[in-house]
Chain A
Amino acid sequence: AQSVAQPEDQVNVAEGNPLTVKCTYSVSGNPYLFWYVQYPNRGLQFLLKYITGDNLVKGSYGFEAEFNKSQTSFHLKKPSALVSDSALYFCAVRDMAAGNKLTFGGGTRVLVKP
């Protein structure tokens, strides 16, 4: 069975500083990985995905993620965080063998302080 772990419940960072949100995964076969962001009382917004190709994936709003096969990680990064980046972030993996459903990590709350 596939699984995703986000080891940090919350990440605090000062505005302008680099932001990293950690994600590790466990899959059989090739991983299809995603990052989504959720603002209060809203659905999820797609940030970026890794299917194949370059290990560094660039996404929306200045976010990027680095796929590391040996460490089975897919950490989300942003060089300079904004207060408006404060939200709940989810890492997910697509299960191609089970109807393409997503398995989500537990989520990481990011708080960017001015």
Chain B
Amino acid sequence: GAVVSQHPSRVICKSGTSVKIECRSLDFQATTMFWYRQFPKQSLMLMATSNEGSKATYEQGVEKDKFLINHASLTLSTLTVTSAHPEDSSFYICSGWDRALNQPQHFGDGTRLSIL
């Protein structure tokens, strides 16, 4: 089946650091990438939707200057958490979707971000 590779799997860093998370579709073209945030024992919260070559569309309440999303190619999207603070600590998950194939979204394994 389709594979989405997400790196790193875990990040621990100091407050004020910017952190970049990569999401790659390995065997399909992800025309659309979705970024989610998941708090402990809770469901996934969609942060933003990015279409290849376009600016990301952010969900209400998500700071676009805080969470920078780039989707420059059909196989790579990145989420950069700028000047991260402890409240940004969370589990971040990406998913890829090929509009042409109309298959289910395929998810990465997530990134556990811990800001000290």
Contact = CB atoms under 8 A, between A and B. Distances in A.
A42 B9 CA distance: 9
A90 B44 contact: yes
Interface stretch (A17-25, A61-69, A72-80, A96-104): A96-104
Interface in A83-101: 90, 99-101
Interface residues of A, number: 18
B104 A49 contact: yes
A90 B46 CA distance: 14
Q: Per DSSP, are chain B's interface residues mostly helix, strand or loop, or mixed? A: strand
A90 B105 CA distance: 13
A32 B30 CA distance: 20
A49 B106 CA distance: 13
Contacts of A36: 107
B22 interface: no
Interface of B: 1, 4, 6, 9, 32, 34, 42-44, 46, 49, 57, 91, 93, 95, 97, 99, 104-110, 112
Interface of A: 34, 36, 41-46, 49, 90, 99-102, 104-107
